[in-house]
Structures are given as C-alpha cells and as structure tokens.
C-alpha cells in the first residue's frame, strides 16, 4: 500500500493511519517540501529492523520530491522518489549489524557511505560503495 500526503502534518494521528512504532511521519517526509509518499512495506520492514537492532535509528532521508532529489544530487531514478528507500545514519552504530539485519529482512538495494547506509526494496539486488567502509 502506498501512503500519499501533500504534507506529513496531514497524516491522521491514529494507529490505523500510522501503525509504525519507531518512526514518525515527519522523519519519512521530504526534507525540502514536507510531502510524504511512502510504501507501507518499507515502513513495516523498518519497524522490524529497528526492533531487531535494539537501538534507535536516525533517518537522514526517506521520501524525496523530484525537485529536492535533484537539489541534493540524488540519482534521477532514485528509490527515494517513490518512497521505497531510506538513508540511516551509522554514526556511533554497529554498521555491520545494521547491514546484516537489513539483508536478513530482504532489503535488496544497499549503498555504503561514510556516514550512512542506504537501504531500499528494488526489484533486483544492487550494492554500491562498500569500499567506503574499508572492507
């Protein structure tokens, strides 16, 4: 199911509208416009990931509007544009455990950056930037 709101503030404050325990609408919304478009399956998996990781996770970027995506140098066909990706900070976190749990949960796209891990649910497996983790 896809969630679509012109602004994250429009999300009803009910469990039925937003059943995810660990993440708020404002964390998932576009940082440039406030628009929120997300796949509920991504949010389901993120909640399980957070539960298994047993520590807070900071979402740096989730949904991005096309304009905001271009402003931040995002890929033209980024999974962020369809609300099926997020970037999670790895500062002071066990990045290898986070990676393992994401793979165990079926995330198929993983991008390794110096300060964050990109995860998404694209149709085919993709990996990039692993050398930035010095492995």
Q: Is 89 helix (H, G, I), strand (E, B) or coil?
A: strand
Taking Cα atoms as reference points, which of 51, 41, 79, 52 lies closest to residue 63?
A: 79
Tens digit of pLDDT for each residue in 3-40? 999 999 999 989 999 999 999 999 999 999 999 999 99
Both tokens of 101, joined, read 């749990």
Q: What is the pLDDT of residue 135?
A: 63
Q: What is the pLDDT of residue 134?
A: 74
Both tokens of 23, joined, read 């993440």
Both tokens of 15, joined, read 């469990």
- Taking the model in full, what pTM does it have? 0.93
Contact yes or no for 84/122 (Cβ under 8 A): yes
């Amino acid at each position: 199911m896809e969630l679509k709101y012109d602004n994250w503030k429009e999300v009803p404050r009910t469990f039925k509208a937003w059943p995810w325990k660990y993440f708020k609408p404002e964390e998932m919304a576009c940082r440039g416009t406030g628009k929120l478009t997300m796949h509920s399956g991504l949010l389901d998996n993120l909640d399980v990931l957070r539960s298994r990781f047993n520590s807070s996770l900071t979402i740096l970027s989730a949904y991005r509007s096309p304009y905001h995506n271009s402003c931040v140098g995002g890929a033209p066909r980024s999974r962020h544009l369809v609300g099926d990706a997020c970037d999670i900070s790895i500062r002071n976190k066990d990045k290898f455990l986070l990676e393992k749990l994401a793979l165990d949960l079926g995330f198929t796209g993983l991008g390794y950056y110096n300060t964050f891990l990109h995860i998404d649910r694209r149709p085919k497996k993709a990996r990039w930037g692993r050398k930035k983790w010095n492995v």
